[in-house]
Structure 1
Amino acid sequence: MKGKTVVATGATSGVGEKAVLALARMGARIVLVARDQARAQATLGQLERVAPGLGHAAHLADLSSMADTRRVGGLIAGSEPRIDVLVNNAGAMFADRRVTPEGLERTFALNHMAYFLMTRALGGTLRASAPARVVSTASDAHAWASLDFADLQGAKAYSGWRAYGRSKLANILFTREAARRFAGSGVTVNCFHPGFVASRFGSETGGWVSRLVPLARAFALTPDQGADTLVYLASSPEVADVTGGYFVKRKRAEPSAAARDDAAAKRLWLASEALAGP
């Protein structure tokens, strides 16, 4: 990873933070996108300690906002002449249905649309930097989910678990369609399931989930263990030419039938384009 630049969202705690620290130790320069300035500065401090003098940087953005995601994506595209890896990792689950000022349900906005918008914003730079990689954090929570294209925002019926599962299904469908669209460019696109990890995930969910998660963490993987497949997909020569895959514990796995539906993947991409605008 020496001389390479990695742009990463959701990298100030948990799996994302451990992944960027590991990649920095391998020689990568890290560009963070974070919501919280204090945590961003703390992570930059850690990066500087483990891999000093590489010019690690941080940008602040609310990735549940399409406008802010477009802004920070454009800023990074304009300031980074080379991007070797884009890591889409920011995500959350919310017990109550709330919508963003742009009218999107928050889980869908943060867990799916931010992936879509960041990849679109940096796509030109990734192509120009090829060989390059996009790695996105999905989950086996997709397995019980299905997409309702007539109700992508969960307005008819909402539960936090259902919305989260659908967003993770969307991550895998996004990966499949993005891989198809980047085919032949030298840019690979893959996603992975990190496992249940002891991290900040669930701390802002609300309701009974926020009460249960601290108890469940006693049986969870460490963030380093959860980050292992992310680091592998971002750096290993073994997967340099692999694209469109869903990985678990460094192995390519078969997701649910709904996640293998290429027609749904294309339909989701077109719906996302319509929501995102030009």
Structure 2
Amino acid sequence: TEQEEPRLDVLINNAGIYQCPYTKTEDSFEMQFGVNHLGHFLLTHLLLDLLKRSTPSRIVVVSSKLYKHGHIDFEDLNSEQSYNKAFAYSRSKLANLLFTLELGHPLEGSGVTVNALTPGIVRTNLGRHVHIPLLAKPLFNLLSRSLFKSPEEGAATSVFLACSPDVDGVQGKCFADCQPQVLLDKATDREVASKLWDISEVMVGITT
């Protein structure tokens, strides 16, 4: 509550579920879309007034390069017609980028900045739902130590977006390895971003 926390300098939307079996949240949303997108959408909405009163402040949204394989199907956002766990994850990460894009416009000049990032492959338990054959696990563990980022390395761009003066006033962009990225057109489509925003408001019960 605001009585306990009178100001908020940085909000990092980093909660995530990766390729889980088909399940639903308590509010009956497909789990990956619900946690990875709608949860961030609603939390940011609830904290936005406090962020505006705490300027300069920042919102950081953690996406993934796997957004490239996603598609916003407005006819089946909840995966009730069909469910592919990899596609559902990619769609939620594309939604993160469209949310960041759309939020950046009303925040222009407000003192609150919002940007996204793709951290790369990091050694965490995010991939706990991915099955690796028992005999392959030693090799996988060896390769992951050499190829995957440590949690500290994976967090570097989040810290950069939260703290660096280099991104003062930058809005609605996506970064990787602390550098701005050129996104695919589907992640910068204002029409899709606006429609997703409106539908997300309805899904989480926000009335405007």
Alignment TM-score, normalising by the size of structure 1 = 0.69
> Structure 2: which amino acid aligns with 1:237?
P
Match of residue 222, structure 1, among 145, 150, 154: 150
Q: Report the equivalent of 1:248.
A: 176
Pairwise CA distance, 1:181 = 2.1
Distance 1:176 1:156 in 2: 28
Match of residue 161, structure 1, among 73, 86, 91: 86
Superposition pairs of residues 78-227 of structure 1, within 5 angstroms: 78-203=3-128, 205=129, 208=131, 215=140, 217-218=144-145, 219-227=147-155
- Kept in 1: contact 2:20–2:32 (CA 8 A): no
- Kept in 2: contact 1:202–1:210 (CA 8 A): no
From the superposition, tell whether residues 229 and 140 of structure 1 become closer, same or farther in structure 2 (CA, over 3 Å). same
Deviations along 1:63-110, whole A, 9 cap, x unmatched?
xxxxxxxxxxxx3x4531110110000101133211123210000010
Pairwise CA distance, 1:174 = 0.4
- Kept in 1: contact 2:109–2:169 (CA 8 A): no
1:236 and 2:164 aligned: yes
Unaligned runs of 5+ in 2: none
Unaligned runs of 5+ in 1: 1-74
**Does 1 or 2 have the higher relative contact order (CA < 8 Å, sep 6+)?**
2
Pairwise CA distance, 1:185 = 1.1
From the superposition, tell whether residues 142 and 225 of structure 1 become closer, same or farther in structure 2 (CA, over 3 Å). same
From the superposition, tell whether residues 131 and 199 of structure 1 become closer, same or farther in structure 2 (CA, over 3 Å). same
Deviations along 1:37-81, whole A, 9 cap, x unmatched?
xxxxxxxxxxxxxxxxxxxxxxxxxxxxxxxxxxxxxx3x45311
- Kept in 1: contact 2:119–2:176 (CA 8 A): yes
Identity among equivalent positions (%) equals 37
- Kept in 1: contact 2:9–2:55 (CA 8 A): yes
- Kept in 1: contact 2:22–2:31 (CA 8 A): yes
Deviations along 1:196-217, whole A, 9 cap, x unmatched?
01111112x25x2697888262
Deviations along 1:226-263, whole A, 9 cap, x unmatched?
11111000000111111100001111101121101011
From the superposition, tell whether residues 269 and 224 of structure 1 become closer, same or farther in structure 2 (CA, over 3 Å). same
Deviations along 1:101-127, whole A, 9 cap, x unmatched?
321000001000111011001000000
Distance 1:173 1:210 in 2: 36
Pairwise CA distance, 1:158 = 1.1
> Structure 1: which amino acid aligns with 2:150?
T
- Kept in 1: contact 2:102–2:190 (CA 8 A): yes
Query: Pairwise CA RMSD of aligned residues?
Result: 1.8
Of 89-98 and 122-131, more deviation after overlay is shown by: 89-98
Aligned length: 201
- Kept in 2: contact 1:202–1:213 (CA 8 A): no
Distance 1:242 1:209 in 2: 40
Distance 1:90 1:274 in 2: 21
* Structure 1 stretches of at least 4 aligned residues deviating more than 3 Å after TM superposition: 209-214
